[in-house]
Structure 1
Amino acid sequence: MISKKIVLTGSHLTPALALKAKLSEHGWQVIGLKISSPKLNRHQPILAALSLIKLPFSFFYACQSLLKIKPQLVVSFGGYAAFPVCIAAKLLNLPLIIHEQTFKAGLTSRLTALMANKVAISWPSSQPFFSKSKTVLTGNPIRRELLDLKPNKLKSLYITGGHQGSKIINENAAKILPQLLKNFTVYHQFGQAQSESAFKKQLQFKHPRYILKRWFSTAELAGILNQAVLVISRSGVNTITELAYLQLPAVLIPLTTAQKNEQITNARFLESLGLAIILPQSQLNPAALLQSIKVALNQLPLKTSLTFDRSLIRSAADNLYQLIELVMHESKKH
């Protein structure tokens, strides 16, 4: 039996992991390929020029890696790290699918879409950024462990700044822990923003209902979200997708440096479903965070939209897998 190899690349890990699980079910050998690639800084010409000098080396390494792996197909999940791999796939005449998670497509996705066989989009709003003939609405895959959760709301809060973590969220949350722990168990993922020892020293605080970890595993996170009544978080698109699917209320603190105010757009989408209170980072302080949490707990469960169709998210991994099979079938004709 010929081994079916596929390369997944890009910056968005959550949908890639969801697709990997689906591909593995169908006998694919999945290889993750991350190439160190310079980020093009369009606001600082000197840094942009230096980035362009480094790009050929990234392209060379990407070509070398793909020639060694010999995949049947490449799927990109966006971000500048995927750019050299997509170029290499085109040069080597490998079928290429781009998956766009955001509501408005980023520069890398728009460029790599020009050479892709198909562009899978997560939301109808991103379709105008791509060629209609290439675009397929698949949805944004979420971790399979979350698909069948039936939240039991055991008065827990989940605080996270995402995988990278957020020093400002960590520090403000730490200052209101005594108030939160009067009524809730608090799960806190503090990420890479600061060292564990430094943060714990700063806390000078221990409580049996305060569970602090750098990262929670997917299985642990499924358990946490299953009992959470509220999430305090950044508003990355994959976080938003999971919260929308689970109909889980949140206090969102959008990252101000995200491309094209992407996180603000994401947060407003969840707000439109009645699932979010938005707290701008410029207004973030312990008192404002505590007040936002109180408002969210009192108001959001009453406002939650029942009109949001979760089926596209639920079927996203299947839809993306079917698109892969379609592209594979079409590529064999040529």
Structure 2
Amino acid sequence: MRHLVSIKDLSSEEFAVLVDRAAHYKKVFKAGNLSESQKNHAKLIGKTIALVFSKRSTRTRISTEGAAAFFGAQPMFLGREDIQLGVNETFHDTTKVISSMVSCIFARVNRHSEIQQLVKHSSVPIVNSLCDKFHPLQAICDLLTIKEHLDYTKNKLKVAWIGDANNVINDMAIACLKMGIDVAISTPHGIEMDQDIIDAGLEIAKSNGTKLECTHNSIEAATNADVLVTDTFISMGEEYAKATKLKQFQGFQVNSEVCSHAKPNYKFMHCLPRHEEEVSDDIFYGEHSIVFEEAENRLYAAMAVIDVFVINKGDFSAGHDSVSN
């Protein structure tokens, strides 16, 4: 049984399959062909997909429930106020019970150790829908979005991340490097990427002929970049440190000055929700921004994951011939 915990756990070929499947299901969904929709809807009729969410969500909940419904499954949302997970019942007991009644568990939790416990005790695939270490669904969506606009299979690209060292860039950096994209990461002084991510990234870069650079200079990272990316400076659960973090991140807003160092046709991305301290209005809503297409692509990323890990039981080659690249 295969679980989706991080992009680091996938081969380059497996990750490419997930991006291609997402593109395929986007075409199917947009086409609105009734017979094709009915064929996909029949794949999980009578099945249930659990959404175990310890953290609130907009895009993750909508995309996961929509993807489950697309394949005919019943999505079951289980928020932290709805079940006993980690409160009056152990992770072991709750996971055993939930996994005995559903076909898959999408888990949006606090700590990476909680994902590891779910994987250890579940009898069905676990899909990491966010933890403090990784966010693989966002990486699938982001690479689909980059492929649509700049096609990394035909062009050598550079992605520049400007902001915090967090779960989003942990998976996005690995995903980009696996797909042959150079990555430059700029974080404030005192904030460093996790060493295991750097080590894994450098190993991939060496084998793929790509570059991974880390700096504390946002202009340096943005120079000649094809894609500029940022995220919230204050993650959920860190609101108590808002004043301190905003001071630490001074000078790291993505604005016209930073973007002037990128390539003329650069694209701007943000996984949302967005705050003005991270990116100025003229960039976020400007002609280079693809943030809302990026958000929509979360739906097709979830479809791809359900297809591979649930319908095809972790077999990345099953049904691959029908995928339109």
| TM-score (normalised: structure 1) | 0.38
Higher relative contact order (CA 8 A, sep 6+): 2
- Which one has the largest radius of gyration? 1
TM-score (norm 2): 0.39
